[in-house]
Amino acid sequence: MKIEMRKITQLPKTFSITSDGIELKGQIYRKTSKIFQMEAILKGSLELICDISGDLFVKFFEQPLVLYISDGIWDIQSQNSRLDDFDIIEFFDGFVDVEYILQSEIESIKMDYHIKEEQGV
């Protein structure tokens, strides 16, 4: 799912996309002429590998997500903004690729350290 940047205004635009058992649902709006803010909830379950036992297990996630998106290269030196403490996701084709963002978040979760919690203890 791609959202055309020129159609994103200061009025929040709602979106929802699901992949690999995880849903990314929220809003995106224009913060400045070249910066967009995405506020969303990442929710669902993923099959992960326990880093201690090597066992597969399913873990449920529900976490808020706030991302900043740039239309083109984000040059922190030339911007008079309070966003300098945040990571900015850069897109170069005039579209926000929500599928790419979701896949990146899923891969980030998978690469994190996971421990299977024992049931019934």
List the helix and strand counts (H, then E) for the chain: 1, 7
Nearest to 24, CA basis, from 39, 46, 2, 36: 39
Q: Name the average pLDDT for the chain.
A: 88
So what's the pLDDT on residue 82?
A: 57
Q: Is the pLDDT of residue 91 over 50?
A: yes
pTM assigned to the model: 0.83
Q: What is the CA radius of gyration of the chain?
A: 17
- pLDDT tens digits, one per residue of 92-114: 999 999 999 999 999 999 999 99
- pLDDT tens digits, one per residue of 30-88: 999 899 999 999 999 999 999 999 999 999 999 999 999 999 887 665 555 555 546 78
Ordered alpha helix ranges (H), the chain: 98-111
